[in-house]
Amino acid sequence: MSKKICLDLDGVITDIGSQIKEYAEKDALEFQPIHIGEALLTPDGVDYLEFIFEDPLFWRNLLPIKDSWHAINEWFKSNHDIIFITARRSEISIGEMEPWLEGWGVLYSDI
């Protein structure tokens, strides 16, 4: 029986939290949240996340979670509809989704 499986990209197929931390550690800005929770709860952190999320290279350099990547492709090959949903708001982050999925060979039905 075929199912529709709706998944978020960030935190499901990518470990966005650790990759935000890595980005922050490489960056020389004054505020460098060490944890995504800290970034979400501080005024400077919100500005910092917006800075990161507007960088196309951040989105292009996200690495997939291998177990999720393999599971999603197996589900798709088993005739399940894989639909990615997102809370991303910027045009840059949304625009990078499809090329990222295709670049990593993630099989899906729709975004």
The model's pLDDT over 74-91, given as tens digits with 9 standing for 90+, comes to 999 999 999 998 887 778
Give the 3-state secondary structure of residue 29: coil
From residue 69, how far is each of 11, 72, 91, 111 by CA, in Å?
A: 12, 5, 24, 16
Position 73 confidence tier, pLDDT thresholds 50, 70, 90: very high
pLDDT score of 44 = 56
DSSP state of 6: E
Q: What is the mean pLDDT of residues 39-64?
A: 75
Q: What is the mean pLDDT of residues 1-30?
A: 81
- Give the predicted TM-score (pTM) of the model: 0.77
